[in-house]
Amino acid sequence: MKDKKFISYLFEVAWILPSVAIPVSMLVAILITAFAVGVRVPTTAGRVSVSAVAAGADSTFSQTGLREIAPGRYEAIITAQTFMFTPSKIEIPAGSKVTFILTSKDVIHGFRIEGAPINVMVIPGQVSRVTATFDKPGEYLFVCHEYCGAGHHVMHGTIIVN
């Protein structure tokens, strides 16, 4: 009887240890990739007036498009609205590091680049700011991934890396 109790105790320990060890090791992996490797998630990047953006009166978002801020270093100012991104085509040389600065003129949109670690919500009144480096030449599709109305499925664009 004592043996049986001990065995069931062993089973419980054998279950509980991995139950703790699995999430803890996953957490460690996340912390390493976030803070040592630098795969970070979007964070607060300021507010913006949605009416000013829509009227073209906002200093940042009145001039959409790509600009080089240093050699190999770019900023892409993009606005989202039903059902398009402006601009929807961006061309950069391979090896470029691009910071995407986005906002929405109307409802919530999404911005995800296939093949790059970029995935961010684009919310009216908020600035989204995300950065990625494009080493491999090719065409990168980006899509709006948040339902934004009847034409949501046509909302997309491309990044061409030469």
CA pair distance 71, 3, nearest whole angstrom: 72
Interatomic CA distance for residues 40 and 43, integer angstroms: 9
Instruction: State the minimum distance, in angstroms, from the CB of residue 72 to other proteins.
Output: 23
Residue 7, classed as helix, strand or coil, is helix
Which range in 58-66, 70-78, 89-97, 108-116 contacts other proteins by CB under 8 A?
108-116
Least Å distance, CB 25 to other proteins, is 10
* Residue 106 sits in the site that holds other proteins (CB under 8 A): yes
Does 114 contact other proteins by CB under 8 A?
yes
Q: Does 152 bind other proteins (CB under 8 A)?
A: yes
Q: Which tokens in the block code for residue 128?
A: 């989204």
Q: Which amino acid, one-letter code, is at 67? A: R
Q: Which of 77, 129, 90, 156 is nearest to 120 (CA)?
A: 129
CB 162 within 8 A of CB 137: yes
119 binds other proteins (CB under 8 A): yes
Q: Total number of residues binding other proteins (CB under 8 A)?
A: 56
Any contact of residue 76 with other proteins (CB under 8 A)? no
With binding defined as CB under 8 A, does residue 43 bind other proteins? yes
